[in-house]
């Protein structure tokens, strides 16, 4: 009897152990994600995934990377999930399984406060910097190639540095990222928004490799529950209101 009881206890412990999900996130893209050190992660995407993992009784193990590597890690199944302001597009839906959208996806032009550029009409002959991913590149080329020179950068810090050092006159980045850099009192003295937001894709989604439909179904169910119980609204207000 003791052996049977011990066996049942061990089985119970095994099945109750939380599943660990490896989640690729952007190492630096405030307000979505920021890595303070190897064990501390902050941002809207991080808190959203923490809440999702709690709903599905899993543990989040974050892997901070750049955008290109994030997609590669998920595609090669070195990460179970990826989140990082990933706009839902036909190309992304072809490459990955994608969750329900958790936020609208828009782009925004931004420049330095002292720049003479104050509207899209001032872009002629200027240099526009943007992320070197397919969505941003195609959008910039489509809208501005006739009037401006386009320069691409791999990661956000490089893009912001290029703007600060006047390698480019304007940058096109995620709307929420641009607003973050224009929001605080100290940062507000350096940057300003140009024009209206630009629609990019069909919202931001969480991605998984093909073959993980059951996982994406659980993610979707958790996202719906978070919206229903008010968790999502509170989180949204904390970061974007």
Residues 94 and 115 in one domain: no
Residues 110 and 85 in one domain: no
Residues 35 and 64 in one domain: yes
CATH code for position 218? 3.40.190.10
pLDDT value for 15: 42
Query: Tens-of-pLDDT digits for all 241 residues of the chain?
Result: 444 444 444 444 444 467 999 999 999 999 999 998 767 899 999 999 999 999 999 999 999 999 889 999 999 999 999 999 999 999 999 999 999 999 999 999 999 999 999 999 999 999 999 988 778 888 888 899 999 999 999 888 899 999 999 999 999 999 999 999 988 655 556 899 999 999 988 999 999 999 999 999 999 999 999 999 999 999 999 999 8
Residue 41, H or E segment: strand 40-42
Residues 132 and 184 in one domain: yes
Sign of CA dihedral 106, 107, 112, 115: negative
- Could you tell me if residue 119 is left (phi over 0), alpha (psi between -120 and 50 degrees) or otherwise beta? beta
Task: Record the pTM.
Answer: 0.88
Residues 98/216, Cβ–Cβ less than 8 Å: yes
Residues 175 and 186 in one domain: yes
Q: How far is CA 177 from CA 9, 92, 216, in A?
A: 49, 21, 26
pLDDT value for 218: 98
Flag whether 12 is in a domain. no
Q: Is 131 exposed, middle or buried (0-12, 13-18, 19+ CB in 10 A)?
A: buried
pLDDT value for 16: 47
pLDDT value for 39: 76
pLDDT value for 133: 79
Flag whether 3 is in a domain. no
Residues 187 and 169 in one domain: yes
Sign of CA dihedral 224, 228, 234, 239: positive
Report the DSSP beta bridge partners of residue 88: none
Which residues span the domain enclosing 65? 18-103+203-240
Sign of CA dihedral 133, 135, 136, 139: positive
Flag whether 121 is in a domain. yes
pLDDT value for 4: 43
pLDDT value for 188: 54
The total number of structural domains in the chain stands at 2
Residues 110 and 189 in one domain: yes
Residues 160 and 195 in one domain: yes
pLDDT value for 186: 53
CA distance 130 to 167: 12
- SS3 string, 137-155, reads HHHHHHHHCCCCEEEEECC
pLDDT value for 189: 61
Compute the half-sphere exposure of residue 73: CA atoms within 13 Å on the CB side of its CA: 21
pLDDT value for 12: 45
Q: How far is CA 41 from CA 50, 86, 95, in A?
A: 10, 18, 27
Residues 88 and 144 in one domain: no
């Amino acid at each position: 009897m003791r052996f049977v009881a011990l066996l049942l206890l061990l089985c119970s412990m095994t099945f109750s152990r939380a599943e660990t999900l490896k989640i690729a996130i952007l190492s630096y893209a405030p307000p979505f994600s920021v890595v303070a050190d190897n064990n501390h992660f902050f941002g809207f995407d991080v808190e959203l995934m923490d809440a999702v993992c709690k709903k599905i009784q899993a543990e989040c193990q974050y892997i901070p990377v750049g955008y290109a590597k994030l997609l590669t890690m998920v595609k090669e199944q070195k990460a179970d999930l990826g989140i990082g302001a990933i706009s839902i597009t036909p190309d992304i839906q072809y490459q990955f399984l994608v969750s329900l959208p958790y936020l609208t996806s828009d782009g925004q032009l931004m420049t330095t406060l002292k720049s003479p550029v104050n509207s899209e009409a001032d872009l002629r002959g200027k240099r526009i910097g943007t992320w070197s991913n397919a969505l941003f590149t195609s959008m910039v080329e489509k809208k501005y190639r006739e009037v401006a020179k386009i320069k691409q950068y791999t990661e956000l810090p490089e893009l912001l540095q290029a703007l600060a050092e006047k390698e480019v006159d304007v940058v096109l980045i995620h709307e929420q990222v641009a607003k973050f850099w224009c929001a605080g009192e100290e940062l507000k003295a350096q940057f300003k928004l140009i024009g209206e937001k630009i629609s990019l894709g069909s919202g931001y989604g969480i991605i998984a490799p093909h073959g993980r439909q059951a996982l994406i179904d659980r993610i979707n169910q958790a996202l719906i529950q978070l919206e229903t119980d008010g968790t999502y609204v509170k989180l949204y207000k904390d970061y974007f209101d």
